[in-house]
Amino acid sequence: MAIPGVFVGLIIFVALLLYMFRILREYERGVVFTLGRFWKVKGPGLIIIIPVIQQMVRVDLRTVVMDVPSQDVISRDNVSVKVNAVLYFRVIDPERSIIQVEDYLAATSQLAQTTLRSVLGQHELDDMLAEREKLNADIQTMLDQQTDAWGIKVSNVEIKHVDIDETMVRAIARQAEAERERRAKVIHAEGEMQAAEKLVEAAAQLSAQPQSLQLRYLQTLTEIAGEKSSTIVFPLPVESIGNLFKKS
């Protein structure tokens, strides 16, 4: 009967040894509590935990890559879109990450979702499509400020996709086409205005020099005569020809 008792005692002793000695990797830290009160952060390497009296919680210090689920966002110009993102963060203070929040992974995920909707809802659709870098920086800054109390550093936020309803895509295409037509008409109108200004300047110069106008008549006749035409009727006042050959 003594042998089973010794065997049980040996099992308990081995279990206590396994509980006492912990090995933490280089990227791990152990938050140690003594009788329920925080004692210290230990690791990496071999650490000893007093059974029953002390408890330890492992914390991973590596960067966590978290997908932010697709969120329904209504932009400032009342356009409904679906936006998802990816979040990069890591624990920089193991003590606060365990003591200040129950589950820092879940808390960071929920906070990222609400912050994504809040920040993007303050911008128009064009900003979401054209200014992603600025929006990423705004979301990252806001998240980093709020997670600092949890001992978490948000290093980067990237908006992955902005999904727009098909009807809105067609509306945006029509808007872009209308914008291109408007620019073409503006450019054409500016060209006409510049041409009219040059014509006014040319008319002023010709009116100041009557002989220049007569030479212009003759130049036009020469250009028309070079073409394959049959009969040319070109009105020219007789006095203009007389003035042209009039001796000064």
Cβ atoms of 240 and 214 closer than 8 Å: yes
Residue 64 pLDDT: 96
- Tell me, what's the pLDDT at 62? 96
Query: Which domains, from first to last, does the chain contain?
Result: 17-60 (no CATH), 64-164 (3.30.479.30), 170-245 (no CATH)
User: For position 106, what pLDDT does the model report?
Assistant: 95
Distance, CA of 12 to CA of 204 (rounded, Å): 113
| SS3 call for 124 | coil
Report the distance separating Cα 207 and Cα 108, nearest Å.
Answer: 80
pLDDT in the model for residue 222: 67
**What pLDDT tens digit does each residue of the chain (248 aa) get?**
456 777 777 787 777 777 788 899 999 999 999 999 999 999 899 999 988 899 999 999 999 999 999 998 888 888 888 999 999 999 999 999 999 999 999 999 999 999 999 999 898 888 888 888 999 999 999 999 999 999 999 999 999 988 887 666 566 667 667 777 788 888 888 888 888 777 777 667 666 666 665 666 666 666 666 656 556 665 655 555 555 455 44
> So what's the pLDDT on residue 92?
96
d(CA 175, CA 173): 5
